[in-house]
Structure 1
Amino acid sequence: MIFVNWILGPQLLGVIFLLAGYIQKCFPPKEINSLYGYRTARSMQDQQHWDEGNKYSTQLMLNCGWVLLVAGIMLSIALNLFDIDPKLKAWMQVAVVVAGSVVVVMVLFTKTEKHLKDTFNDI
């Protein structure tokens, strides 16, 4: 059971964001499309917005992935140090994964949109 906590714990979210970030960094979307890349109305205005939005959001995704990975490992260590009911531990891990994913997505969108707005002096 402890091994499963190390794999399926909150650090898994960090690994997912890191993988997605490295894939997007190695294979960036070259043209504006509706399938792959950072896709918002502002980023899809023109090629400059598209390139900058994808470059910025990819780096931000990698940074957030590392933070989630380290925080997840620290949380797993903390949860395994104490004698906590396994059901409560599982609920705590799920809550952290859900909260972490929501926060990271909100940070990605708000910071990238602000960056695009500031970079291109958009209204």
Structure 2
Amino acid sequence: MFMNFLHSTYCNAAIFAGILFFFMGYFIRRYPPKSTQTWYGYRSFLSTQSPEMWHEANQDAAYISRRIGAILIPTGFACALFFEGQTDWFWYITVGSVIIGVMYMVGYTEWRLQQKMNRDEYDGADIPDKRR
């Protein structure tokens, strides 16, 4: 019974990772990590720079993670219905969509942190008035 499930198309990376992403995003949104010392949360060089950056990074990562999960789950079920077996293209699509989702989450979150860091630098800088 278990081996039949393992070899069926319903056992794919997109469904499992989609469920994981969705619940991870929900968990981080519902119980945000208080500091960088907690065991969970979005960790990167930029996100650990300050408590504000940590909070912003985890908000963005939780939001994007839920969205990725909501896309990966239907993608996995569509692949399970479309393909008759676990072919090479089946694995390329299901695993590739998970990799693209992870890259999008990290890239978007880091881009948002970079934008926040640049805004904060310009807010505190003495910018000369060029309207003279």
> TM-score range with shorter-chain normalisation?
0.7 to 0.9
2:71 to 55, 63, 67: 67
Count of residue pairs the alignment pairs up: 115
Deviation at 1:50, TM superposition (A): 0.3
2:100 to 103, 106, 109: 103
Deviation at 1:36, TM superposition (A): 1.3
2:62 to 52, 58, 61: 58
Contiguous gaps of at least 5 residues in structure 2: 122-132
Distance in 1 between residues matched to 2:94 and 2:5, nearest whole Å: 17
Q: Return the letter of the residue paired with 2:65.
A: M
Deviation at 1:34, TM superposition (A): 6.4
Deviation per CA, 1:68-99: give whole Å up to 9, x if none: 0111111111114xxxxx4xx25444433432
Deviation at 1:22, TM superposition (A): 1.2
Distance in 1 between residues matched to 2:109 and 2:118, nearest whole Å: 14
Match of 1:83 in 2: none
Match of 2:128 in 1: none
Distance in 1 between residues matched to 2:102 and 2:51, nearest whole Å: 23
Where in structure 2 are the equivalents of 1:1-123 lying within 5 Å? 1=4, 4-6=8-10, 8-9=11-12, 10-33=14-37, 35-80=39-84, 86=85, 89=86, 91-121=88-118
Normalising by structure 2, what TM-score? 0.75
Contiguous gaps of at least 5 residues in structure 1: 81-85
Distance in 1 between residues matched to 2:66 and 2:27, nearest whole Å: 10
Q: 1:46 to 1:99 in 2, by over 3 A?
A: same
Question: Contact 2:20 / 2:69 at 8 angstroms: preserved in 1?
Answer: yes
Normalising by structure 1, what TM-score? 0.79
Distance in 1 between residues matched to 2:72 and 2:79, nearest whole Å: 10
**Which of structures 1 and 2 has the bigger CA Rg?**
2
Q: 1:35 to 1:46 in 2, by over 3 A?
A: same
Distance in 2 between residues matched to 1:2 and 1:105, nearest whole Å: 26
| More moved, 20-29 vs 30-39 | 30-39
